[in-house]
Amino acid sequence: MSFPISTDKIETRLYINGSFSKASDNSKFPIHSPYTHDKIVDVSEASVDDTDRAVAAAKAALPSWSALSPDARGAYLKKLAGLIRDSNDELAQLEAMSSGRPLSMYFDAQYTASQFDHWAVASWEGSQGRSSLNTPGFVSMTFRQPIGPVAIVTPWNFPVAFFGQKAGPALAAGCTVVLKSSEKAPLTSAKIASLVHEAGFPAGVFNILSGHGSPCGSTLASHPDIRAINFTGSTATGRKIQIAAATSNLKRVILELGGKSPAIVFEDADIDKAAGETVGGIALVMGQACVSNSRIYVHESVFEKFMHVFLTIYKGVKKGDPLLPETSQGPQVDRLQYERVKGYLDAARVGQGKLEMGGHVTEGENGKGYFIEPTVYSGVPEDEVTQKEEVFGPFVNINKFKTEEEVLTKANDSEYGLYASVYTNDLSRALRVAKALESGQVAINCTSPTSMADMPFGGYKQSGQGREGYGYSIDEYLETKSVFIAVKDASGTAVSGSVLAR
């Protein structure tokens, strides 16, 4: 692979039923670099026909794929994991070119490969049912069977990471998949389509489309032959998908949505560690992560010290070309996101908070690029828009608190509940606070993006529904069927049928 990748080597087509094609109506959309603003390539925009064709292929492939043993399915997943690992550098470059993600922050290919490795073997146990002899005269059992063709709709911030996290368990469960990538970051998904092809998956098992929310995403959400849809993205789109599912075929809906994650730093915490890690939590992908600790609450007695360390570290972020290895801050993903964050900078400027650092849009050394200065405000009232809404940029509010009760009220006063963290050396307090926080994840003495592969990931409240993680995700793709057998006793008599045999 050359560096940078020559654009004529970039895959831009749809992958349907085991082969690549352009859109049926030859429709395309451009991908521009958020750093140079130059066009990189035109990518195929899946039409309704293309989407229907992908779903039909997934439906046709389901019986034979689900009939394979876990090992036989797992062999394809294992092969894909290896190919993704080998393509790490190319995937990192594609993401840097198209979404501004610095090479230094790229972990997604390794992560997703380990997901596929795990799911290659996990369905032996994950899809087992249970048996019961509790009802006299009966042997009862459950069958766990694939729910049907599954749609996966991914966002632009970690598109490759979501591949393994979502498609891995669906394929392991015996489901077939139609995945739609984000229109802002389709290149790595199209590259993985070529790896799916190389891994030799049977035609129709794993279909990969590029396109916008409409028509492709909305067609999947309302499609009568899709039986489950797994979506990561904004709460607004999650709501639309839920409505489309409800008004079509009541497909199962798994939603991983937005966040406004609080980090709480008590007076007895290791302040240097807390400040360093919370900088990492907001600096990761320029604040464009659902788990970014975008609200930090620091006990008033250690506030000055924390702020000093935090600002010193955050000022060390190195802005630049995302393709250079030393860069730790790239541009925001596109003009739309840049303008959106700029709107929050404007709102903060006229708000009551105190600007501690940054506060403006900026540009790269090339005089271009959708850069935002890393921005910190303090003393922001809880009802201000930047304290309530997901900014999705390098922007954090750091507020003081006095008591545990006060900080818990503030931390929980949000419609989001995806991730929260608490720094303290008092174990009882840590566990008390963890119990009280309305959040799908609570990190103690660590913060985002730390998460555990074998712990469920998902949100409280409007941060989503459903859980993903080793030991959890596969459940979302399986139906559970009760099967019971009336067994004759030694005299040859069977329990006569009863509506409620107990």
Active-site amino acid positions: 256, 290
Smallest gap from Cβ 214 to ligand NAD, in A, equals 6
User: Do residues 422 and 434 lie in contact, with contact meaning Cβ atoms separated by under 8 Å?
Assistant: yes
d(CA 444, CA 34): 35
φ/ψ (deg, to 5) at 319: -80, 145
Write the CB contacts of 356 (distance below 8 Å, at least 6 apart in sequence). 307, 311, 376, 377, 378, 398
What are the backbone angles phi and psi of residue 175, rounded to the nearest 5°?
Answer: -85, 160
**Residue 499 C-beta: closest distance to ligand NAD, Å:** 42
The smaller minimum CB distance to ligand NAD, of residues 178 and 345, is found at: 178
Shortest approach of ligand NAD to residue 424 CB, angstroms?
26
Residue 357 pairs in a beta bridge with: 376
Cis previous bond, 136, omega within 30: no
Nearer to ligand NAD, 430 or 442 (CB): 442
Q: How far is the CB of 158 from ligand NAD (least distance, A)?
A: 6
Residue (45 or 90) nearer to ligand NAD, CB: 45
Provide the β-strand partners of residue 483.
141
Distance CA 392, CA 120 (A): 34
Show the CA angle centred on residue 265, arms to residues 278 and 405, nearest 5°.
135
Question: What are the residues binding ligand NAD (CB under 6 A)?
Answer: 153-158, 180, 182-183, 212-214, 217-218, 221, 232-234, 237, 240-241, 256-259, 290, 390, 392, 418, 459, 464
Cβ distance 455 to 444 under 8 Å? no
Q: CB of 477 within 8 A of CB of 173? A: yes
Closer Cβ to ligand NAD, 212 or 432, answer by number: 212
Residue with tokens 């659902």: 290
Nearer to ligand NAD, 110 or 234 (CB): 234
To ligand NAD, the closest distance from the beta carbon of 58 in angstroms equals 16
Nearer to ligand NAD, 192 or 199 (CB): 192
- Cβ at position 466, least distance to ligand NAD in Å: 10
Beta-ladder partners of 141: 131, 483
Written as six digits, the tokens of 496 are 């006569």
